[in-house]
Amino acid sequence: MAAHQPGGATAVTSHRADDPPQGAGRSWAPLILLCVAEFMVILDVTVVNVALPSIGRSLRFAAADLQWVVTAYVLLSGGLVLLGGRAADLIGGRRVFLAGLGLFTAASLASGLAPSAGALIAARAGQGLGAALLTPAALAVIVATYSGRQRAAALSAWAALASGGAAAGLLAGGMLTTWLGWRSVFLINVPVGIAAGALSPRLVPRLRPSADTGRRLDLPGAVLAAAGLVTLVYALAGAPSHGWGSARTLVLLAGAAVLLAAFAITERAVRRPLVPPDSWRIRSLRAGMAVMLGATGLLVGTFFLNSLYLQDVLGTSALRTGLEFLPVMLAVGLGSHAASRLLTSTGSRVIAVAGLAMMAGGALLLSAAGQHAGYLTGLLPGLLVTGIGTGLAFPAASITAMSEIRPERAGLASGMMTGAHEVGAALGVAVFSALATAQAMAGGGFAAGYRHGFAVAAAAAAGLALLALVIVPAVRPAPGMKARVH
């Protein structure tokens, strides 16, 4: 439970059968296993992109249907995370994690062996459902297992996966598709998933469901939330190709708004809501979600436009494109490490603002790339600055969001943060694509659209940094069980 301390501090403890003595450190083995499983899931968001041409030729996809290899996964993983997070609270984090891991591994095997286009799309939907269970449950276990500086370090490592995994997916996709064929991008998950599942009962702590949450799941709320989020992500994913002003996009966005409004009304009427209305009154959770959504949109949009620039403008191969994103992964790791070291002294507000300001600077550098800008001098500096900024912003967002969450709602809060990440990713691709396309059609080609997209991104990141200065509380993880919130 969260106990208020003198001076406005909040102490966060976990309801567990095996809590160690005050101040005792926990083994990092659970974190390593959970991060390995999550890294496998994150890779699957982008690893498929490089393999899409090979998949299309092999399974004879219609051109209009190939996008569903990505869209089926994103819709299920983004639309059901709230349900997965709440299930972790009601059933137990380890149980839901193992269920998600098992489903994801089985669906990966089905994807790798898919004999037809329809079979692959169905298997990818199964992977998305597994990810929607696995991700919030794993994060809930981390939040309940670690405290103080250990939690700051654990969430920093988790955040580094969320941001660096996208770049790693491009690299892994290029290597696996080139050397082993497209089926390997799915089959590689199978031995990893089996090993993680075998080790989980020994390494992942078993968290008791809180006695006061009840065991009933708010099914009407779950259906409305899933339908609203799926519709929203689907609208955003299709906006670049159909247009923001198209009837399809506008109808879908309106439908998502209606469904989510109905969800909000339902939550106020039911006895045990999926998302208790008072959750939205937690300032730190709202602030963390806002930073996560904005930073994810900026990062994924950056990967999207630079992947196109490297391959379509500079003529870089898919494999080399993946390799050229490798420094971004290292930059994200550097920023994440710095965040975990600085959070205890400076607080999450300073780190979040600094990270977003660096992302604005990176976008500004990329907006200066010319028609024939080279990788080393034209793109790499901006990518590195963006990577370091992301490594700072993501841990700050995660630690801020979880600082005032009671243990019995850790899964729900994890689902809300994961949902913000998924919506941010879809929004980033949609907005960056729309900006670049509009400017390219106005004259100047893709390079002009690229510069325009990053000029707007720089302004947006700067605005988000100013917003973070106002809305993000100063959370300082302490060595013991306390997390100071001011």
Contacts of 31 (CB under 8 A, 6+ apart): 142, 145, 146, 154, 157, 158
150 vs 143: CA distance, rounded Å: 10
| pLDDT classification of 215: cutoffs 50, 70, 90 | low
Most confident range (mean pLDDT) of 5-14, 63-72, 259-268 is 259-268
**Mean pLDDT score of the chain:** 85
**pLDDT above 70 (res 289):** yes
The sheet with strand 10-12 has its strands ordered as: 2-4, 10-12, 482-485, 475-477
| pLDDT classification of 219: cutoffs 50, 70, 90 | confident
**pLDDT above 90 (res 29):** yes
**pLDDT above 70 (res 276):** yes
**pLDDT above 50 (res 476):** yes
pLDDT at position 64: 64
CB atoms within 10 A of CB 359: 30
pLDDT at position 2: 37
pLDDT at position 444: 72
Percent of the chain with pLDDT over 90: 41
Mean pLDDT across the stretch 280-306?
A: 91
Superfamily of domain 25-206+274-476: MFS general substrate transporter like domains (1.20.1250.20)
pLDDT at position 209: 66
Q: Please name the amino acid found at residue 20.
A: P
Each residue of 109-137: b (16+ CB within 10 Å) or e?
A: bbbbebeebeebbebbbbbbbbbbbbbbb
Each residue of 163-199: b (16+ CB within 10 Å) or e?
A: bbbbbbbbbbbbbbbeeeebbbbbbbbeebbeebbeb
Residue-wise pLDDT for 62-116, tens only, equals: 866 777 888 788 888 888 888 899 888 888 899 999 999 999 999 999 999 999 9
**pLDDT above 90 (res 51):** no
pLDDT at position 380: 95
Most confident range (mean pLDDT) of 186-200, 301-315, 393-407 is 186-200
Percent of the chain with pLDDT over 70: 90
Least confident of 126-135, 288-297, 322-331: 322-331
127 half-sphere exposure, CB direction, 13 A CA radius: 34
pLDDT at position 192: 94
| pLDDT classification of 278: cutoffs 50, 70, 90 | confident
Q: Please name the amino acid found at residue 8.
A: G
Least confident of 83-87, 161-165, 399-403: 161-165
pLDDT at position 360: 97
Mean pLDDT across the stretch 1-30?
A: 47
Please name the residue ranges forming H helices in 27-147.
Answer: 29-59, 68-79, 81-91, 93-112, 117-145
Q: 230 and 166 in contact (C-beta within 8 Å)?
A: no
pLDDT at position 164: 72
Q: 125 and 72 in contact (C-beta within 8 Å)?
A: yes
Least confident of 57-66, 178-187, 356-365: 57-66
In the chain, domain spans: 25-206+274-476, 218-273
Contacts of 83 (CB under 8 A, 6+ apart): 132, 217, 222, 225, 226, 274, 415
Sign of CA dihedral 479, 480, 483, 486: negative
Most confident range (mean pLDDT) of 133-137, 314-318, 417-421 is 133-137
pLDDT at position 117: 94
Contacts of 79 (CB under 8 A, 6+ apart): 132, 226, 227, 229, 230, 233
pLDDT at position 144: 86
Residue-wise pLDDT for 329-344, tens only, equals: 899 989 998 998 898 8
pTM: 0.82
Per-residue DSSP letter, 373: -
Q: 476 and 347 in contact (C-beta within 8 Å)?
A: yes
Residue-wise pLDDT for 224-246, tens only, equals: 988 998 898 888 878 877 888 89
pLDDT at position 13: 36
| pLDDT classification of 203: cutoffs 50, 70, 90 | very high
